[in-house]
Amino acid sequence: MSSQIDHVFDETRVFPPSPEFAAAAVAQPGLYAEAATDRDAFWAAQARALHWHTPFTEVLDWTTPPFAKWFADGELNVAYNCLDRHVEAGNGDRVALLWEGEPGDERRITYAELTAEVKRLANVLTGMGVGHGDRVAIYLPMIPEAVASMLAVARIGAIHSVVFGGFSADSLRSRIDDAGAKVVITADGGYRKGKVSPLKPAVDQALADRGEGAQLTVEHVIVVQRGGNEVEWTEDRDVWYHDVVAAAPAEHEAQAFPAENPLFILYTSGTTGKPKGILHTSGGYLTQASYTHRNVFDLNPETDVFWCTADIGWVTGHSYVTYGPLANGATQVLFEGTPDTPHPGRWWEIIQKYGVTIFYTAPTAIRSFMKSGRAIPNQFDLSSIRVLGSVGEPINPEAWMWYREVIGGNTAPIVDTWWQTETGAIMISPLPGVTATKPGSAQTPLPGISIDVVDDDGNEVGSGGGGLLAITKPWPAMLRGIWGDPERYKETYWEKFEKEGYYFAGDGARLDDDGDLWLLGRVDDVMNVSGHRLSTAEIESALVAHEATAEAAVVGASDETTGQAVVAFVIVKESYLAAHSPEGLAQQLRGWVGEQIGPIARPRDVYIVNELPKTRSGKIMRRLLRDVAEGREVGDTTTLADTAVMSVISAQVK
Q: Among 28, 411, 420, 459, which residue interacts with ligand 6R9 (rule: CB under 6 A)?
A: 420
* Helix residue spans in 214-328 (DSSP H): 241-247, 283-296, 315-317, 324-327
The answer to the question of residue 492 lying near ligand 6R9 (CB under 6 A) is no
Q: Among 418, 493, 497, 569, which residue interacts with ligand 6R9 (rule: CB under 6 A)?
A: 418
Q: Among 145, 188, 311, 507, which residue interacts with ligand 6R9 (rule: CB under 6 A)?
A: 507
Minimum gap (Å) between residue 514 Cβ and ligand 6R9? 18
* Site pattern 363..402 for ligand 6R9 (x: CB under 6 A): ---------------------------xxxxx--------
- Closer of 296 and 545 to ligand 6R9 (Cβ): 296
R_g (Cα) of the chain, nearest Å: 24
φ and ψ of 308, to 5 deg: -110, 125
Q: Which of 335, 329, 388 is nearest to 363 (CA)?
A: 388
Q: How far is the C-alpha of 505 from the C-alpha of 68, rounded, in Å? A: 17
Q: Which of 418, 421, 437 is nearest to 429 (CA)?
A: 418
Q: How far is the C-alpha of 81 from the C-alpha of 390, rounded, in Å? A: 27
Minimum gap (Å) between residue 471 Cβ and ligand 6R9? 11
* Site pattern 589..618 for ligand 6R9 (x: CB under 6 A): ----------------------------x-
Q: Among 76, 519, 606, 621, which residue interacts with ligand 6R9 (rule: CB under 6 A)?
A: 519
194 is in an annotated binding site: yes
The answer to the question of residue 145 lying near ligand 6R9 (CB under 6 A) is no
Q: Among 86, 120, 318, 522, which residue interacts with ligand 6R9 (rule: CB under 6 A)?
A: 522
Q: Distances from the Cα of 435 to the Cαs of 307, 518, 520, in angstroms? A: 22, 15, 21
Q: How far is the C-alpha of 188 from the C-alpha of 191, rounded, in Å? A: 11
Minimum gap (Å) between residue 525 Cβ and ligand 6R9? 9
- Closer of 157 and 424 to ligand 6R9 (Cβ): 424
Contact 546, 589 (CB under 8 A): yes
Minimum gap (Å) between residue 416 Cβ and ligand 6R9? 5
- Closer of 99 and 320 to ligand 6R9 (Cβ): 320
Q: Which of 90, 82, 80 is nearest to 53 (CA)?
A: 80
Q: How far is the C-alpha of 344 from the C-alpha of 635, rounded, in Å? A: 32
The answer to the question of residue 351 lying near ligand 6R9 (CB under 6 A) is no
458 is in an annotated binding site: no
Part of the chain binding ligand 6R9 (CB under 6 A), chosen from 23-31, 369-377, 418-426, 576-584: 418-426
Burial of 477: CB neighbours in 10 Å, binned 0-12, 13-18, 19+: buried
Strands (DSSP E) contained in 104-224 are 106-110, 135-139, 159-162, 183-187, 189-192, 195-198, 220-224
Q: How far is the C-alpha of 430 from the C-alpha of 637, rounded, in Å? A: 35
* Helix residue spans in 187-232 (DSSP H): 200-207
The answer to the question of residue 311 lying near ligand 6R9 (CB under 6 A) is no
For strands 195-198 and 189-192, give the pairing. Answer: antiparallel
The answer to the question of residue 315 lying near ligand 6R9 (CB under 6 A) is yes
- Closer of 122 and 315 to ligand 6R9 (Cβ): 315
Q: Which of 617, 542, 614, 97 is nearest to 391 (CA)?
A: 617
Minimum gap (Å) between residue 270 Cβ and ligand 6R9? 9
The answer to the question of residue 408 lying near ligand 6R9 (CB under 6 A) is no
Cross-strand bridge partners of residue 221: 184, 238
29 is in an annotated binding site: no
Q: How far is the C-alpha of 619 from the C-alpha of 523, rounded, in Å? A: 15
- Closer of 116 and 278 to ligand 6R9 (Cβ): 278
* Site pattern 263..282 for ligand 6R9 (x: CB under 6 A): -----x--------------
Minimum gap (Å) between residue 291 Cβ and ligand 6R9? 16
For strands 358-361 and 387-390, give the pairing. Answer: parallel
DSSP character at residue 405: I
- Closer of 326 and 479 to ligand 6R9 (Cβ): 479
Minimum gap (Å) between residue 542 Cβ and ligand 6R9? 17
Part of the chain binding ligand 6R9 (CB under 6 A), chosen from 71-79, 103-111, 237-245, 411-419: 411-419
Cross-strand bridge partners of residue 454: 460, 468
The answer to the question of residue 525 lying near ligand 6R9 (CB under 6 A) is no
Starting at the edge strand found earlier in the chain, the sheet holding 387-390 runs 106-110, 95-100, 331-335, 305-308, 358-361, 387-390, 414-416
Q: How far is the C-alpha of 69 from the C-alpha of 284, rounded, in Å? A: 8
Binding-site size, ligand 6R9 (CB under 6 A) = 21
Residue positions in the annotated binding site for CoA? 192-195, 316, 530
Residue positions in the annotated binding site? 192-195, 316, 392-394, 416-421, 507, 522, 530, 533, 544, 546
The site for ligand 6R9 (CB under 6 A) is made up of 268, 315-316, 390-394, 416-421, 442, 505-507, 519, 522, 617
